Structure 1
Amino acid sequence: MNPVLPQHDPKPDRREKYLERQRESYRYNYDYLPPIAYAEQVPISEAFSAKYQAQQFKAITKILLNLSTAELGNLFDPFNHLDDYEKLFLGEPLLPKPASTRNFLLDTEFARQRLAGANPLMIERVDHQKLQQLVQKFSVSDALFQQVVDTELSLEGAAKEGRLYLADYAMLEGMQPGRYQYWQKFITAPLALYYWQSTGYSDRGVLVPVAIQLNQKPGSNNPIFTRLDEPNWSIAKTFVQIADFNHHELISHLARTHLTIAPFVVATARQLADNHPLKILLKPHFQFTLAINDLARFSLINPGGFVDQIFAGTLKASLSLVAQSLETQEFKNLALPTELKRRGVEDTTALPNYPYRDDAYLLWNGIHRFVTEYLNLYYKNSTDVINDYELQRWAKEVTAQDGGRVKGLTEDGKVDTIEKLIEIITQLIFTCGPQHAAVNYPQYDYEAFTPNMPAASYASPPTKKDIAIGTSDQSNFLQYISPYLLKYLPPKQQAVSQLQLTYFLTAFKYDRLGYYERTDFQDPKAQALINTFQRNLHIIEDRINIRNTKRTHPYVFLKPSLIPNSISI
């Protein structure tokens, strides 16, 4: 099939008849997650293939074999020690032990996960203005800061040097907690302050946690915890991880990838003919997205499903958070360069070790180059963009109230230049591939082992400092902290469910970024660009491999060979 813009197609009637049929099959639904646009149904052409279903079956079988072989005992009995959670993983050829089982209690590992963990999207720089606002609700003193991080810098000095960072989970404030059987769940809306320490165990420094406040409003029952306050420090870190888990799964993952892309899938099917160059380019990057979203609707985010069962909030509260995130976001602000700049973390000098940012930039630039060259094959100038009436209908439908309801597609709401179109398509492909990979595939390493990142707490958060033991003797720290943490961690059945969910969502990669079926692109000029794109992806992978030899922990989630084309799992 030769790609051609509609204004140049000698058979416009054929295109229109095709699109009329498509509009019958692809419809929007606004009732499931109001007011968000959801796909009404999954057309047969969007369903999982036999190959995909075989990979699903293999993953389910592996989980069941692992759990049936593990010595679980009564699923309703409590765990007696933190080590018991690790016994759920029998190792290859069944379920491997997640990476987080090794160092999850270390402060440096806790902080590192803000930069290279499951949710590397929360940390933001605290500059002078932000610091003035922050101290109104999170009043860490200079004296405490200097004692904790062993520096002569003041908070203002650290902020001025670009070394002060914050993860603020204010969006979770007031979230209605759920229940599991007779257990009440708990979640807080914490603030966690971090400091970039330029002299650490690596030559590039290390991010260290400074202080944690578990709720947004300061008060006598909402103390500030530091490493000087064990065991409450480890408990406070656990509550941050709980908040991060819920933000990650509901906002960074579900809202900002799966549900952000879904309206574009529907609009593309309804408004772009099968021989439209954009339809040809986007189709492999939209593969199975409607199907996986539909599967989630009926097995993950349904009453009694995994979100209802193991997440901290009620199902209604969790879905309300998703809807609120989607309703308030603007598409253009989620573009990688814009999003990093908004958080103040684009400066590689101030924060030199941020694996997600550094590797994501390589992929963004590589995709941008490929998209630019591809679109220039078919759009000779911006007039071609304006005269592409299918594209204009697509853009109108994506943003319409009776369409996709996407906000902020472009700065002025128009798609009238090649440059604007390049940015939109780059962002779509980046979100479908690298961005989804960055928030999906770390789930097993960081969330399958429940003590590292629980989905909920099963005891109320500490409201007093209590007696601190300090941190001088770390030799038996695991033995010491275990009974304190156990009462907060999910019971055995919940831990098993969290393991099942995170393994199933990361068990396989259906295809590979930039590698397409032979029938996808039949234009020889486009195929030549794809060959160049693939070579560039190999170069990017080589650069990441070199970086990983210098990192204390390799970051593999944005290696191009490990990124699928689409949001398919």
Structure 2
Amino acid sequence: MKPVYFFAASIATVAAAPVEHLEKRLVFYTVSNPLLQVVRNVDIAAKRLLISYGPGTGGGPPSPAGVLGLSYVETDKLITNAELGAQALVDYNDRTAANADTAKAKLNGLQTLDDYTKLYDGNWEATSAPTGIGPGLLTNYTQDLFFSMQRLSTNPYAIRRLAPGETLPFTIDDTVVEGIAGQNLATLLANGRLFYADHSGLKDFETDQSANYAGGCDAYFYISPANGQFLPLAIRTNYHSNLIYTPADTADDWMLAKMMFNADDLFMAQFYHFSGSHFVSEAIFQSAIRTLSEEHPILAILRRLMYGAFGIRPLAVSVLFPVGGLIDKHFGYSGRAAEGYSNYLYTSGISGAVQGNYFKTDLRRRGLIDPVVGPPLTHFPFYEDALPIWTAMHTFMTALVNTYYANDAAVGADNEILAWMDEANGPAEAVDFPTRATMNSRAKLIDLLTHVAHLVSTAHHVLNTNALITNGAVLPLNPGALHKPLPTTKGATNIAQYLPPVDACISYIFTMGFFSRPLLAGTDRTMVHMFDDPLMLLRMKPAISTANNAFKAAMTARSAIVKNRGFDSNGLSQGMPFLWKTLDPDVAPWSLTV
């Protein structure tokens, strides 16, 4: 048995070798075949003895154990650490420049919110931030439209449309709501215009009250009857006196409320990503390794998509979760809270459900696309940018599945695929995974494979990787925590005092830069090259190479659209007062990163 695990060196060797010689040595991929299954089963059985299940690293489903499982982890740690090490050199240089006396002098001691935007002047943008800090992020951050549209771009996983007749989480005086939205709360709800984002559950997890503070906010948003814009309506703190803020409050109070909410939202986004991308894809992949032959084309695709994946959770456990680790240092909740929250999100199915979180299924369930009641969103930047990528991935997976399976019955007859369903639903502890009874068509297999590709690319990178330093964690609007206790009465002034001091800010930006991957932009590690593995394609049927070429062309064209994005005559891009380029396929990686 020789598990196929490909690295840059082996790819280079393949590229340099004569094709006719390679073809004599290659074993071509085939699906389960009764004539060969005895031999394949022996290999699978031997593999199962060598890779088993151990405790979930950082919570969640089991992590690889056994001789082969631990070997995979160690190999992937080398990949993860090499990419992180290369980025660390870039990030350290940026931090050194930011720490220079001349750089700090222009910050004015961070006495006002605008002073915080100067943290990025001449630093970070050209190196650690692969697309630069999004235009508008440092100039338009006080606008309500800016804040609300972050729910539909930088973190699209927290918001949902409330259904008519649903019990309202909290109430607001009708006079106040009508003055803001033109309709009262009940009417907005009945008309399908009211949305809700709930981080109140975070208050049940351990907070770090020694220097960092958070409350667990929830909030209402609405589609304006007047102009169709998606706007904020109210933010509740869920802290002591449980204040409810609205745009009718003073500018300082309302701005502070938005910063409080964003601190919770950033925490939620990071551990939704950790559990929903890493936990889920690892459970799927590990169960596939233990049930599919090394000659199976589906396992080959999963290996490609899961490049370096097993090396990421160990790193998170060593640097994020420990006492005094990066979570304790920069967030209002502790590292132990982050681990517990990740586990909760996964096991509850909020982030862990496989089928329930299929791209369109999830957005449709939350009323963000194809609403049953209420107007559609005028702009939904995440959907606008992720849909073309998802469609191209779905088209590739359709070619793959239809090439290897002549009809639906052939999928149901593949014993290895059926064993994969059993394994994922059993010891791998996948949540809401298809069963052997429901995996009965080519369309079902295509949807599952497309979802894995989505998880490791668009679903992951919208919340993490380059997204943090370029958008989601940009100060002053997006702190990891407040640096003084949340207010119990309104009337805040000098709200910059709630944000971190200079050295803590530089450390925060430096940490966000660690997750960035500017050195991968424009290389064969971007989404353009998701399936562009020469050796894998040589072992595939010719139709798959054709499908890969079509995918690359689609992603290259999509990248040009994102790169050339600008503001319209109203100063908006995708309906937002900032440019958002996180899902540029020639910048974002094609696989998971730390």
TM-score of the superposition, structure 2-length normalised?
A: 0.81
Instruction: State the secondary structure of the residue aligned to 1:380.
Output: coil
Q: Which residue of 1 aligns with 2:402?
A: 376
Per-residue deviation, 1:335: 0.6
2:505 alignment partner, one of 495, 510, 513: 495
The AA in structure 2 aligned to 1:485 is A
Choose 60-69 or 325-334, whichever is displaced more. Answer: 60-69
Instruction: State the secondary structure of the residue aligned to 1:404.
Output: coil
* Residue correspondence of structure 1 range 338-353 to structure 2 within 5 A: 338-347=361-370, 349-353=375-379
Per-residue deviation, 1:378: 1.0
C-alpha distance in structure 2 between counterparts of 1:59 and 1:9, whole Å: 49
C-alpha distance in structure 2 between counterparts of 1:496 and 1:385, whole Å: 53
Per-residue deviation, 1:80: 4.0
Tell whether 2:486 aligns with 1:423.
no
* Residue correspondence of structure 1 range 538-557 to structure 2 within 5 A: 538-541=556-559, 551=573, 552=576, 553-557=578-582
Per-residue deviation, 1:406: 0.8
Q: Contact conserved, 1:442 with 1:557, CA < 8 A, in 2?
A: yes
2:495 alignment partner, one of 484, 488, 492: 484
1:162 alignment partner, one of 166, 189, 192: 192
2:93 alignment partner, one of 45, 65, 68: 65
The AA in structure 1 aligned to 2:263 is I
2:536 alignment partner, one of 484, 506, 520: 520
Per-residue deviation, 1:324: 0.7
Q: Which residue of 2 aligns with 1:478?
A: none
Q: Which residue of 1 aligns with 2:145?
A: 108
* Residue correspondence of structure 1 range 133-152 to structure 2 within 5 A: 133-134=167-168, 137-149=169-181, 151=182
2:253 alignment partner, one of 226, 229, 232: 232
1:389 alignment partner, one of 395, 411, 415: 415
Tell whether 2:323 aligns with 1:323.
no
Deviations 1:351-379 (A, max 9, x none): 11011022222222222222122101111
2:467 alignment partner, one of 427, 432, 442: 442
Q: Which residue of 2 aligns with 1:472?
A: none
Q: Which residue of 2 aligns with 1:470?
A: none
C-alpha distance in structure 1 between counterparts of 2:411 and 2:47, whole Å: 23
Q: Contact conserved, 1:46 with 1:287, CA < 8 A, in 2?
A: no
The AA in structure 2 aligned to 1:507 is R
Deviations 1:275-323 (A, max 9, x none): 1010122221110111122222222233432123222222222211110
Choose 489-498 or 357-366, whichever is displaced more. Answer: 489-498
For this pair of structures, how many residues does the alignment match? 531
Instruction: State the secondary structure of the residue aligned to 2:197.
Output: strand
* Residue correspondence of structure 1 range 284-363 to structure 2 within 5 A: 284-329=304-349, 330-347=353-370, 349-363=375-389
C-alpha distance in structure 2 between counterparts of 1:165 and 1:424, whole Å: 29
C-alpha distance in structure 1 between counterparts of 2:369 and 2:320, whole Å: 35
Q: Which residue of 2 aligns with 1:473?
A: none
Deviations 1:128-166 (A, max 9, x none): 223xx11xx4112321112124x2x33333334433222
Instruction: State the secondary structure of the residue aligned to 2:463.
Output: helix
Give unpaired runs (5+ residues) of structure 1.
468-480
Instruction: State the secondary structure of the residue aligned to 1:520.
Output: helix
Instruction: State the secondary structure of the residue aligned to 1:209.
Output: strand
Q: Which residue of 2 aligns with 1:26?
A: 51
Instruction: State the secondary structure of the residue aligned to 1:210.
Output: strand
Per-residue deviation, 1:250: 1.1
Q: Which residue of 1 aligns with 2:487?
A: 462
Per-residue deviation, 1:397: 1.3
1:207 alignment partner, one of 223, 227, 230: 230
2:525 alignment partner, one of 502, 507, 511: 511
Instruction: State the secondary structure of the residue aligned to 1:208.
Output: strand
The AA in structure 2 aligned to 1:258 is H
C-alpha distance in structure 1 between counterparts of 2:74 and 2:292, whole Å: 16
Q: Contact conserved, 2:80 with 2:593, CA < 8 A, in 1?
A: no
Choose 237-246 or 139-148, whichever is displaced more. Answer: 139-148
The AA in structure 2 aligned to 1:138 is F
TM-score of the superposition, structure 1-length normalised?
A: 0.85
Tell whether 2:213 aligns with 1:192.
no
Q: Which residue of 2 aligns with 1:398?
A: 424
Q: Contact conserved, 2:461 with 2:582, CA < 8 A, in 1?
A: yes
CA pair 278-442 structure 1, distance change in 2 beyond 3 A: same
Give unpaired runs (5+ residues) of structure 2.
1-26
Q: Contact conserved, 1:280 with 1:521, CA < 8 A, in 2?
A: no
2:161 alignment partner, one of 111, 125, 146: 125
C-alpha distance in structure 2 between counterparts of 1:390 and 1:568, whole Å: 29
Per-residue deviation, 1:69: 2.4
Q: Which residue of 2 aligns with 1:475?
A: none
Per-residue deviation, 1:70: 2.4
C-alpha distance in structure 2 between counterparts of 1:322 and 1:143, whole Å: 40
Instruction: State the secondary structure of the residue aligned to 1:165.
Output: strand
Instruction: State the secondary structure of the residue aligned to 1:384.
Output: helix
C-alpha distance in structure 2 between counterparts of 1:158 and 1:175, whole Å: 32
Choose 407-416 or 62-71, whichever is displaced more. Answer: 407-416
C-alpha distance in structure 2 between counterparts of 1:546 and 1:275, whole Å: 42
